[in-house]
Amino acid sequence: MERCLNRIALVACAALSPLVCAAPALAGDQSAATRAYVSNERSSTVTVVDLASGKAVANWPVGHRPRGIALTRDGKYLLVCASADNAVEVRDPQTGALVSVLPSGADPEQFFASHDGRLLFIANEDDGAATAVDLAKGRLAWQVPVGEEPEGIAESPDGKWLLVTSEEDATVAWIDLATREVIEEMETQTRPRHVEFTPDGAHVWVAAEMAGVVQIADVASRSVIATIDFAPPGVPAYKVMPCGIRFTPDGRTAVVALGRANAVAVVDVASRRVRGYIAVGERPWHLAILPGGKRALVANGGSDDLSVVDLEALAVTATIPAGEGPWGVALGH
């Protein structure tokens, strides 16, 4: 723990401004989004896509190896995990200008803003920890050790749990936010990389990348109750590497990025059955559900582009150029 805190102390919080005091959180209502922001980890840029025209309208230079990306709750600011810089950048979503830098711990991968807007939860891969940053004060609030190589992180809708995946240990840490203690380390299949709560908060879906499956855990019992396998036509099983997961606003459909399978799976949430597969670009990492809930925008890390997919027709309707190594997708204005 001391090692982790010392490393964070070395990361300066530069020029904090009134926006941080506004306690930003992830944008909750994306139904009227007009833009998508895509982090490109190899070119260290963010691609801005105009959703009406379906075209990239800007590419902004940002910190090194950006991965996690999100808008604040009010949509006024863009948060970018600059993993190689050990920082979270706060940027103007209209111009890309850097507004401030938040401390983050070592190698931030993904983050999640607390539902009450007070804290930013960050998975620190090199530290083996989950870090909470006080957004109003722009400084470290607390830190909890978790398993090795944490990446996926999410807060339960009721604000009770913070879940963090450990790629190396094949576990998910259940952190009680009231006590800030790890209550349970739930075992999963190999290399869990992403965790996503269903909109009703009853279940959580975990992408086990190297096992090629998504596991579903019951929140009440904190145990795995189902496993979803994937078999895209003509794709060898070893190339199926689930990562990003998103649910449509009605909670009825899940979309799962399948990595080196070069496809996404569309899953019926109630039956937990795959409704179909959509071939996209190379190595899809993460995605966002577009306004209306009938389309998704997929970041293809290997082909340096984005796929717009129709979730009803199970087809790609457009391909949009991005930077090098697109990874995360956020929606805003």
pLDDT for 130 equals: 96
Condensed to tens digits (0 to 9), the pLDDT of residues 54-97 reads 999 999 999 999 999 998 777 888 999 999 999 999 999 999 99
Q: Between residues 76 and 52, which one has the greater pLDDT?
A: 52
pLDDT class for 244, splitting at 50, 70, 90?
A: very high
Assigned CATH topology for domain 244-333: Thrombin, subunit H (2.40.10)
Say which residue, 260 or 73, is predicted with more confidence: 260
Q: Which of 138-142, 167-171, 247-251 is predicted least confidently? A: 138-142
Q: Tell me the CB-side half-sphere exposure of residue 207, using CA atoms within 13 A.
A: 26
Instruction: Give the C-alpha separation, 274 to 240, whole Å.
Output: 14
Phi/psi at 180 (5° precision): 60, 40
In whole angstroms, give the CA distance from residue 81 to residue 84. Answer: 9
Percent of the chain clearing pLDDT 70 (strictly above): 91
Over 70: is that where the pLDDT of 19 sits? no
Pinpoint the residues of the chain covered by CATH 2.40.10.480.
244-333
pLDDT in tens, 93-132: 999 999 999 988 888 989 998 888 888 999 998 889 999 9
Top-confidence residue, 219 or 136 = 219
Q: What is the pLDDT of residue 165?
A: 98
CA-angle at 333, arms to 81 and 37, nearest 5°: 35
Mean pLDDT of 179-200: 98
Structure tokens at 174: 């259940």
d(CA 23, CA 46): 23
pLDDT of residue 30: 67
Report d(CA 162, CA 157) in Å as an integer: 10
What is the average pLDDT across 223-246?
A: 98
As a whole number, the mean pLDDT across the chain is 91
Is residue 29 pLDDT above 80, yes or no? no
pLDDT tier at 137, thresholds 50, 70, 90? confident
H/E stretch holding 9: helix 2-9
Among 22-26, 189-193, 259-263, which stretch is predicted with the lowest mean pLDDT?
Answer: 22-26
Q: What is the pTM of this model?
A: 0.91
Whole-number pLDDT of residue 22: 32
pLDDT at 135: 81
Rounded mean pLDDT of 143-147? 96
Ramachandran angles phi, psi of 157, nearest 5°: -55, -30
Residue range 271-286: mean pLDDT, rounded: 98
Is pLDDT above 50 for 9?
A: no
Strand, coil or helix: 84: helix
Identify the weakest region by mean pLDDT among 19-23, 27-31, 83-87, 112-116.
19-23
Check if CATH label 2.130.10.10 holds for domain 2-243.
yes
- In whole angstroms, give the CA distance from residue 298 to residue 293: 14
| Amino acid residing at 149 | E
Instruction: Report how far residue 204's alpha carbon sits from residue 223's, in angstroms, rounded to the nearest whole number.
Output: 10
Domain ranges in the chain with CATH number 2.130.10.10: 2-243
Q: Taking Cα atoms as reference points, which of 328, 329, 295 lies closest to residue 67?
A: 328
φ and ψ at residue 145, rounded to 5 degrees: -65, 140
Q: What is the mean pLDDT of residues 305-333?
A: 97
